[in-house]
Structure 1
Amino acid sequence: MYDRIWTPFFSSRFTQITTNLNINTSDTFEVPKAALSSAATPRNASAPFIISWKPIPSDAEVYLYLHFAEIQTLQANETREFDIIMKGVFNQSGITPPKLERLTVFSAVPLQCDLDGCRLELVRTPKSTLPPLINALEAYTIIEFPQLETNSSDVVAIKNIKATYRLSKISWQGDPCLPQELSWENLGCSYANISTPPRIISLNLSASGLTGSISPILQNLAHIQELDLSNNSLTGSVPKFLANIKSLSLINLSGNNLTGSVPQNLLDREKEGLVLKLEGNPELCKISSCNPKDKKELLVLVIAPIASVLIAIVVVGLFLVFRKKKVPLGESSSRHIIIK
């Protein structure tokens, strides 16, 4: 939960105890029951329980979360109570873990470790008959990011794209571009300088199971240079707004189910150097004549001259036929035979 990995942390100075009983962990900290069902106590029952580690960097500030639960059955005359001390900067007194129930003690402000690292001590109080106990420990190191956060309009746009297409990429959490080594998968960002917010300049959603039409929210990525929506199940037409994104140098829409004709303004951009990939869309045409209405008009234009020629041929043919059948008057008198 919350992207945490819980690992064992025992040494020869510790004694491990476990339980098979259920432990109440229902709260916002979401500590796994497997982590709470085991605990460590100091092997020397009268000595402090010391946990030390070196954060990176060694003088880093940390937030501490200490989880306790009593997993042993105590006798009537037994008591477990201890103080928590960390170099005088963090002190909690009289901690008594509740029976089979989680108790979390945490630092509200970051704690400064020194060059030797962090040293945490659980010290048994005078009235305690049992040594200190701890079930789990979380220490979060503060990491400073000098780079400004991703441009807010780009953040809103990419989150809307994520919601529109119901994308569930694991890495799509937090700031899209920062930290740079943990930027969102299939997302490219520009990093001009630490005083300029990063901008999203490429988005690759190839083979991401996209359905429906090409959403207008894509145009809200005002600095995007490369857009890859290939090999999905997108339907509808190629939108005109893509041509209005002047920063685009590559658009890959191949391998979808797009229909109709490609907008002329987008074809004009292609002449200016835009790389436009459209193969794999059987019902998509890159010429305006692929529009059904345009086809009808073209058909009328083609049929009209052909019909005129045919009519002319028929008229000439009929004229010649009737001409042969009709006998001229001058020839009629010279061919008569007179019987007297």
Structure 2
Amino acid sequence: MKYRNLFRYPFDVHDRFWYAYDRDDWTQLSTSQTIDSGSSNDYQPPPIVMRTAATPRRANAPLDFFWLPADDKASYYVCMHFAEVEKLQANQSRLQYITRNRRVFYELFALDYLYTNTIFSPAALSGGQYNFSIRKAENSTLPPILNAIEIYTLKEFLELETNREDIDAINIIKSTYKIKKNWQGDPCAPQAYLWEGVKCSYPQNESPRIISLDLSSSGLTGEIAPSISNLTVIQTLNLEKNKLTGSVPVGLIERKNGFLSLSLCANPNLSGNVSCKKKCNFVIPVVASVAGISMLLLSVAALCWGIKRKRQPGAVTDANPIIALVEARKRQFTYSEILQITNNLKRILGKGGFGTVYHGCIDKTQVAVKMLSPSSVQVLQQFHAEARLLK
């Protein structure tokens, strides 16, 4: 048994992994002609894969294969792809049938020249034994062949699928821009297989929602797709370094002024006010709930920023009479917003008795975020008192 070569995207539009497989008792047939494997075949095996086929070295021998299940309780779906790669003469024929565990799995069938035919299991296979044999019919002059095979393990996912509106919106985005990423299946589930550039939230007992989409440097052209506005809970949208044109949809502009972080830099043909000089790129809601953080007791964070206070009459003034005053306001933030403000706690400014201090940004204002460590819960009141002094 030998594995040779690997074909995936861009040869396969679904980015499946196709390995060339060989055995000592098999020989290979091939053609340089193009195989039709997509016009009316839902499985769409890549033409480059279908150009070769295995056949037994002995003309009357079957083409056998099997696999051993990792779990006796596992179930499988199998798809076998066939295409005749030889131009048969009038006196030649290739008729074959398939057995599984010595029982007929698929009745007698013939192959079409340069055209893909897929035979699959309509229901999941189980039972622990998976011995397949492709055999020639008695009146067939040529031995059986097999071009490609897919084997899928049936898995039960307990996670909910992504919100339907988000799925519809991002699929339109995918189609509009012809996204060439690993965008197959559900964008948010399972969590281990998130779509590239996508981040999601996972509310308890609710469908996941898309909250971040990074399509920077993705070769996007044309106008900004209106369907992006249908991602109604998105918080971060990065469209930098593309070739977008036209104007920014009003819906995105309105949300940018609220809770959406919108990055449009390096799109020279995009009209409107597109600023690329922001040092910090996070836009946070004016009002944010902090409910639940205290009860979790995982961490408590206070946002503290330096405030240039208005001086009293008669006080010494700075050389520059124009001093930007930052209004002191008492604001609360959720832990997820803290992560946004600090870019996932990336930059540490220092460490103290309460915990670690991180650098962050709110709009264009740089802030220091003090994170109370779990081991310092006993000084929680003192920590709150210090935070109140800053208001």
Give the TM bin, normalised by the shorter chain. 0.5 to 0.7
Q: State whether structure 2 residue 200 is matched by structure 1 residue 189.
A: yes
**Corresponding residue SS for 2:81:** strand
Task: Give secondary structure in 1 for the equivalent of 2:151.
Answer: strand
The C-alpha deviation readout for 1:217-273, integer Å capped at 9, x for no partner, is 6664444344445667786799344345xxx4x735484785399xxxx99929646
How big is the shift at 1:140?
3.6
Q: State whether structure 2 residue 211 is matched by structure 1 residue 201.
A: yes
Cα distance in 1 for partners of 2:111, 2:116 equals: 6
In structure 1, distance between residues paired with 2:265 and 2:121: 53
How far the C-alpha of 1:67 sits from its partner, in A, is 0.6
Matching residue of 2:59: 45
SS at match of 2:21: coil
SS of the residue corresponding to residue 9 of structure 1 reads strand
Deviates more, 1:80-89 or 1:204-213: 204-213
**Residue 39 to residue 184, structure 1, CA distance change in 2 (3 Å):** closer
- Larger relative contact order, structure 1 or 2 (CA cutoff 8 Å, min sep 6): 1
Match of 1:136 in 2: 148
More helix by share: 1
Instruction: Give unpaired runs (5+ residues) of structure 1.
Output: 280-340
Match of 2:123 in 1: 110
Per the alignment, residue 108 of structure 2 pairs with 94
Q: Which deviations, in whole Å up to 9, do the C-alpha atoms of 1:175-233 show, x marking residues without a partner?
A: 2212322212222112345x431122223344556789988866644443444456677
Kindly indicate whether the alpha-carbon contact (under 8 Å) linking 1:19 and 1:72 is maintained by their aligned counterparts in 2.
no
- Cα distance in structure 2, aligned partners of 1:53 and 1:134: 16
Shift of 1:106: 1.3
Q: How many residues align?
A: 266
Q: 1:216 to 1:90 in 2, by over 3 A?
A: same
Letter in 2 for 1:85: T
Mark the CA change 1:112 to 1:74 in structure 2 (over 3 Å): closer, same or farther. same
Runs of at least 5 residues in structure 2 that lack an aligned partner in the other structure? 1-11, 276-282, 288-328, 334-340, 342-361, 367-391
Q: Quick one: distance in 2 between partners of 1:12 and 1:267? A: 64
CA distance in 2, matches of 1:213, 1:31: 33
Alignment of 1:180-329 (within 5 A): 180-193=191-204, 195-207=205-217, 220-228=230-238, 239-244=253-258, 248=259, 251=261, 253=263, 255=265, 259=273, 269=286, 272=331, 275-277=362-364
Q: Match of 2:30? A: 18
Q: Distance in 2 between matches of 1:26 and 1:147?
A: 32
Q: 1:191 to 1:181 in 2, by over 3 A?
A: same
**How far off its partner does 1:11 sit?**
0.1
Tell me the alpha carbon deviations over residues 100-130 of structure 1, each in whole angstroms, 9 at most, x when there is no partner.
34351412513414435x3211123333344
Give the aligned partner of residue 60 of structure 1: 75
1:151 and 2:166 are equivalent in the alignment: no
1:161 Cα shift?
5.5
TM-score, structure 1 as length reference: 0.60
Root-mean-square deviation (CA, aligned residues, Å) is 4.3
Quick one: percent identity of the two aligned structures? Answer: 30
Out of 119, 124, 131, the position equivalent to 1:119 is 131
Gap change, CA 1:53 and 1:258, over 3 Å in 2 = same
